[in-house]
């Protein structure tokens, strides 16, 4: 894809801080991008009654590429998740979250290299609910063949393209025999189209245990929306935390790139936020745009700063602020 203009959504909490840091690094690396930047989230909602200004939607529909920083979603009441809204509106069905160990970030796990494919548009996470009475609420789990097929095929296509050896289907079909059973059945049907890739399935609670005992046994994971949301946070813990886990949300026509972590309002404005996950998400965006060399240059610079270890944000065990960390990466470039 050839484009030099992308849409940028600045969110809430630490969102504006890490957005400024990432855009500064992209510019310093010579990404040669123009930005159409919009404020979105709680502040925009309170002021104008909309999560996203109409101009923001129009920009994304023109550029087809969105770099979105975290926003705050109220618990229980208030507006619906902006992520859910965007995924549904633009059919961003494939959420990919790579978790890989970095020698510079010490954890109990040294051989983690897991890529999780999460179906992004249905399941319980789609938020289809109804209130039956004052004491009863139903949440409706929706699994379809169409959505299952395309996320499973995305995982296998990635495995082939990137010389991966195994795809693991994660489900709870022993209990939810119809919905999760359909997802598992589709997985094995499609797996037959990829004879060179090992296919296996595991129950989600067993996977949660195995990930913290033998994470090196996993390669590519494909799963439903809610399981993927939970397990991808677990895999971030294996590599050092949410500040190191990037994410892409791909559809047929549109692509959104974001960090997995939230808006962290408790540290907003303190200048200590870690922009690494958002920066690596931006690198995934560069690769999507055909700018692999720029992405590789940024990744090397980040690795060098992490390995040096003298200028790290507090979540990585350092005492440097966002500005100093950003400056260190730019100097490495």
Q: Is the pLDDT of residue 80 over 60?
A: no
Q: Same domain for 215 and 248?
A: no
Question: Which is catalytic among the residues 27, 146, 165, 205?
Answer: 205
Is 233 known to be catalytic?
A: yes
Task: Give per-residue pLDDT as tens, 29-53.
Answer: 999 999 999 988 877 878 888 888 9
In terms of Cβ atoms closer than 10 Å to its own Cβ (0-12, 13-18, 19+), residue 203 is: middle
Q: Same domain for 84 and 185?
A: no
Question: Which is catalytic among the residues 91, 157, 185, 233?
Answer: 233
Whether 80 maps to a domain, the answer reads: yes
CA distance 117 to 130: 28
Sign of CA dihedral 253, 171, 235, 241: positive
CA distances from 158 to 155, 162, 189, 276, 291 (A): 5, 6, 17, 23, 19
pLDDT at 73: 61
**Residue corresponding to tokens 């922009």:** 275
Tokens of 216: 């090196």
Q: Same domain for 140 and 152?
A: yes
Rg (CA), the chain: 20
Q: Is the pLDDT of residue 3 over 70?
A: no
Whether 101 maps to a domain, the answer reads: no
Give first-to-last CA distance, the chain, whole Å. Answer: 25
CATH number at residue 329: 3.40.718.10
In terms of Cβ atoms closer than 10 Å to its own Cβ (0-12, 13-18, 19+), residue 206 is: exposed
CA distance 279 to 78: 30
Whether 81 maps to a domain, the answer reads: yes
In terms of Cβ atoms closer than 10 Å to its own Cβ (0-12, 13-18, 19+), residue 175 is: exposed
Question: Which is catalytic among the residues 10, 172, 291, 297?
Answer: 172
Whether 219 maps to a domain, the answer reads: yes
Is 90 known to be catalytic?
A: no
Banded model confidence at residue 77, pLDDT cuts 50, 70, 90: very low
Residue after which a domain boundary falls, among 210, 239, 268: 239
pLDDT at 33: 96
| Residue 136 lies in domain | 108-117+126-239
CA distance 92 to 120: 7
CA distance 135 to 153: 41
Name the nearest CA neighbour of 159 among 243, 79, 219, 90.
Answer: 219
Q: Same domain for 279 and 262?
A: yes
Q: Same domain for 303 and 330?
A: yes
Task: Give the HSE-up count for residue 277: Cα atoms under 13 Å, Cβ half-sphere.
Answer: 32
Question: Which is catalytic among the residues 229, 291, 315, 325?
Answer: 229
**Alpha helix locations (H) across 94-203?**
145-161, 179-191
* Mean pLDDT of all residues in 300-317: 92
Q: Same domain for 227 and 134?
A: yes
Q: Same domain for 193 and 156?
A: yes
Sign of CA dihedral 61, 64, 67, 69: positive
Q: Same domain for 181 and 287?
A: no
Q: Same domain for 257 and 328?
A: yes
pLDDT at 324: 96
Residue 323 DSSP code:
H
Whether 210 maps to a domain, the answer reads: yes
Banded model confidence at residue 81, pLDDT cuts 50, 70, 90: low
Q: What is the mean pLDDT of the chain?
A: 92
Q: Same domain for 231 and 256?
A: no
Q: Is the pLDDT of residue 326 over 70?
A: yes
Is 91 known to be catalytic?
A: no
Task: Give per-residue pLDDT as tens, 232-266.
Answer: 999 999 998 888 899 999 999 999 999 888 787 88
CA distance 105 to 83: 29
Question: Which is catalytic among the residues 125, 158, 227, 325?
Answer: 125
Q: Same domain for 232 and 250?
A: no
Whether 103 maps to a domain, the answer reads: no
Residue after which a domain boundary falls, among 239, 264, 293: 239
Is 205 known to be catalytic?
A: yes
Which residues are CB-contacts of 83 (< 8 A; sequence separation ≥ 6)?
A: 73, 258
Q: Same domain for 153 and 33?
A: no
Task: Give per-residue pLDDT as tens, 181-225.
Answer: 999 999 999 999 999 999 999 999 999 999 999 999 999 999 999
Residue after which a domain boundary falls, among 185, 214, 239: 239
Between strands 94-100 and 246-250, the pairing is antiparallel
pLDDT at 1: 43
CA distance 326 to 301: 10
Least confident of 77-91, 108-122, 138-152, 289-303: 77-91
3-state SS assignment for residue 324: helix
CA distance 240 to 257: 20
Task: Give per-residue pLDDT as tens, 112-171.
Answer: 999 999 999 999 988 889 999 999 999 999 999 999 999 999 999 999 999 999 999 999
Domain count within the chain:
2
Is 125 known to be catalytic?
A: yes
Whether 98 maps to a domain, the answer reads: no
Whether 132 maps to a domain, the answer reads: yes
3-state SS assignment for residue 123: coil
């Amino acid at each position: 894809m050839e484009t030099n203009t992308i849409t940028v959504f600045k969110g809430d909490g630490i969102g504006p801080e890490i957005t400024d840091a990432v855009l500064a690094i992209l510019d310093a690396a010579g990404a040669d991008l123009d930005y159409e930047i919009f404020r979105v989230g709680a502040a925009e909602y309170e002021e104008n009654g909309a999560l996203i200004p109409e101009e923001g939607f129009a920009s994304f529909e023109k550029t087809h590429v969105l770099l979105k920083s975290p926003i705050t979603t109220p618990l229980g009441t208030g507006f619906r998740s902006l992520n859910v809204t965007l995924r549904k509106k633009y059919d961003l069905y494939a959420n990919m979250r790579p978790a890989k160990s970095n020698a510079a970030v010490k954890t109990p796990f040294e051989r983690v290299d897991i890529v999780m494919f999460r179906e992004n548009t249905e399941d319980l996470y789609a938020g289809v609910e109804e209130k039956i009475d004052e004491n009863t609420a139903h949440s409706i789990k929706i699994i379809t063949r169409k959505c299952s097929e395309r996320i499973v095929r995305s995982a296998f296509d990635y495995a082939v393209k990137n010389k991966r050896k195994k795809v693991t289907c994660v489900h709870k079909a022993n209990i939810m025999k119809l919905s999760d059973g359909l997802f598992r059945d589709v997985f094995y049907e499609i797996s037959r189209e990829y004879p060179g890739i090992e296919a296996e399935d595991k129950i989600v609670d067993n996977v949660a245990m195995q990930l913290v005992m033998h994470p090196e046994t996993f390669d590519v994971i494909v799963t439903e929306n809610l399981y993927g949301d939970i397990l991808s946070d677990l895999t971030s813990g294996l590599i050092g935390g949410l500040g190191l886990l990037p994410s892409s949300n791909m559809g047929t026509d549109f692509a959104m790139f974001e960090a997995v972590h939230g808006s962290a309002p408790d540290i907003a404005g303190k200048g200590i936020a870690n922009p690494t996950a958002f920066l690596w998400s931006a690198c995934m965006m560069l690769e999507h745009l055909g700018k692999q060399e720029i992405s590789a240059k940024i990744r090397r610079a980040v690795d060098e700063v992490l390995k040096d270890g003298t200028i790290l944000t507090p979540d990585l065990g350092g005492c440097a602020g966002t500005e100093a960390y950003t400056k260190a990466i730019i100097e490495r470039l």
